[in-house]
Structure 1
Amino acid sequence: MRLTYKTYAESAVKAEKKGHYLEAAKNWADAKRHTAVQKNIEYCQHRIDFCERHHFRLKSMSQEQTNETFR
């Protein structure tokens, strides 16, 4: 099976819906590499940025909760 922009984008959407933001960011990056359409490239970059921010925010929040537990 040949993986296409659509395949990667659909995988990214599914990962986002599950809250798997790092996986989603990787899929958006793959989708971005598989398109030549400028609007798609820009959209993918927007989603990559969004997913990375959310991944690191959730990771940070989790770390803070862990630290609070041990105080």
Structure 2
Amino acid sequence: MEQAFIDASIKNATASQKESGIVRFDLLQNNDDNTKFTLIEIYSNPDAPAAHKETDHYKEWRDTVADMMNTPRSA
């Protein structure tokens, strides 16, 4: 399951980095528990996060990983 999450997240991150409002998009995997990940997204303006969540690649990622989440996403 970890690899499926990684693959979906890398696909999303690669497409996201082409968005004008995204400065940086990092996917980090916990060294002590390889089932835990942190996504760090840095935006250039306050409207960019909402615009990002309207993209097809974000929606595909969200739907793909929904069942992989231990707890619902908070942001």
TM-score, normalization: structure 1?
0.39
The higher radius of gyration belongs to 1
TM-score, normalization: structure 2?
0.37
**Greater fraction of residues in helix:** 1
**Greater fraction of residues in strand:** 2
